[in-house]
């Protein structure tokens, strides 16, 4: 009787024992090597396999193959198509900005890749890589929410000075939404379409004269302002125009008891005028230390250029 019970116990243990991975000399190969979803839940994961001489190389190959699958499904050229009456000189730069931002989002998703299985067969190593759909959906969804908040705010203003940013945000959102659809199963709706953006731009004057009055300001700041105004559809003229913008930068030398360095506070004032009347004023200040006033001013270049780009619409030129 004891022998019978022992036999039954051994048999039951054998039934529930997990099957080991195939050995290096096995004549068979695990099914997931060629059909990853034999070992993955397609509803919950994105999976891919890798093959190489070592496990480390197979892991890397599996990750690359997973990234390729992820990208191939949404791979399409970023085209900024416009009507015959619209040309955007900044379209090439916008494409690069969008592509860079998308790559950063994809890299963030790929950091969540997990290696689920390993196997050896015919002296080759295999790896099975997986991305959890829910985690990827959460990551992309968070970025989409931020893009929607910023895009919808700009869209509500309908300012030509924000056109480049609106187009960039829309294209990034559109392409990121394709990736979201892959992991979540369906895309998120948008408040506007690209056709809506172009249709709105065509309702505004293609070119409008504007006088730019430069007081005391560095060349790089005035050039940035000219660039943004031109992109928005304004022609900078020397004579009088119905609309005008003035730029001036004041500098105050602050006390600093450090030999060889100077501390300066720079204040930028941008003012818009319409039919000779003052319209809006925007102001920004920054304090910085440098070897000289010129050196200190150069250190705030990015700050002021970014500020102008972010707040130019506050001048209410439309």
Burial (CB count <10 Å: 0-12, 13-18, 19+), residue 59: buried
**In this predicted structure, what is the pLDDT of residue 81?**
53
Question: Dihedral of CA 154/220/268/231: which sign?
Answer: negative
Element (H, E) at 117: strand 114-121
pLDDT digits (tens, 9 = 90+) for 147-161: 999 999 999 988 888
| Second-level CATH architecture of 208-315 | 2-Layer Sandwich (3.30)
pLDDT in tens, 259-290: 999 999 999 999 999 999 999 999 999 999 99
Element (DSSP H or E) covering residue 293: helix 293-299
**pTM confidence score:** 0.74
pLDDT at site 46: 92
Count of beta carbons in the 10 Å neighbourhood of residue 10: 10
Question: Domain residues of the chain, as ranges?
Answer: 208-315
| Contact between 250 and 267 (Cβ < 8 Å) | yes
Q: Which two tokens stand for residue 250?
A: 């004041």
Q: Which string of DSSP letters, residue by residue, matches 78-101?
A: ------TT---TTHHHHHHHHHHH
Query: Token pair 């998308």 is at which residue?
Result: 102
Structural tokens at position 145: 């929410």
pLDDT tens per residue across span 168-226: 999 999 999 998 998 999 999 999 998 899 888 888 877 899 999 999 999 999 999 99
């Amino acid at each position: 009787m004891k022998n019978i019970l022992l036999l039954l116990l051994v048999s039951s243990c054998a039934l529930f024992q997990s099957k080991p991975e195939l050995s290096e000399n096995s004549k068979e190969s695990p099914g997931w090597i060629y059909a990853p979803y034999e070992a993955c839940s397609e509803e919950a994961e994105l999976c891919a396999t890798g093959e190489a001489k070592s496990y480390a190389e197979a892991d890397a190959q599996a990750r690359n193959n997973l990234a390729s699958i992820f990208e191939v499904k949404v791979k399409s050229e970023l085209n900024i198509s416009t009507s015959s009456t619209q040309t955007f000189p900044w379209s090439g730069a916008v494409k690069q900005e969008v592509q860079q931002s998308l790559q950063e989002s994809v890299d963030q998703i790929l950091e969540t890749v997990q290696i689920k299985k390993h196997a050896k067969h015919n002296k080759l190593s295999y790896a099975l890589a997986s991305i959890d759909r829910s985690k990827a959906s959460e990551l992309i969804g968070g970025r989409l929410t931020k893009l929607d908040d910023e895009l919808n705010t700009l869209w509500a203003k309908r300012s030509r000075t924000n056109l480049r940013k609106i187009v960039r945000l829309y294209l990034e959102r559109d392409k990121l939404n394709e990736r979201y659809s892959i992991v979540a199963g369906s895309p998120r709706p948008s408040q506007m379409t690209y056709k809506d953006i172009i249709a709105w731009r065509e309702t505004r004057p293609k070119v409008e004269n504007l006088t730019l009055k430069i007081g005391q300001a560095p060349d790089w700041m005035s050039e940035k302002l000219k660039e943004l105004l031109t992109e928005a559809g304004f022609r900078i003229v020397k004579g009088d125009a119905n609309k005008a913008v003035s730029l001036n930068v004041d500098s105050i030398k602050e006390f600093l008891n450090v030999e060889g360095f100077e501390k300066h506070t720079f204040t930028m004032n941008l003012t818009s005028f319409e039919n000779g009347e003052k319209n809006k004023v925007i102001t920004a200040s920054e304090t910085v230390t440098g070897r000289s006033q010129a050196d200190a001013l150069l250190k705030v270049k990015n700050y002021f250029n970014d500020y102008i780009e972010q707040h130019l619409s506050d001048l209410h030129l439309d």
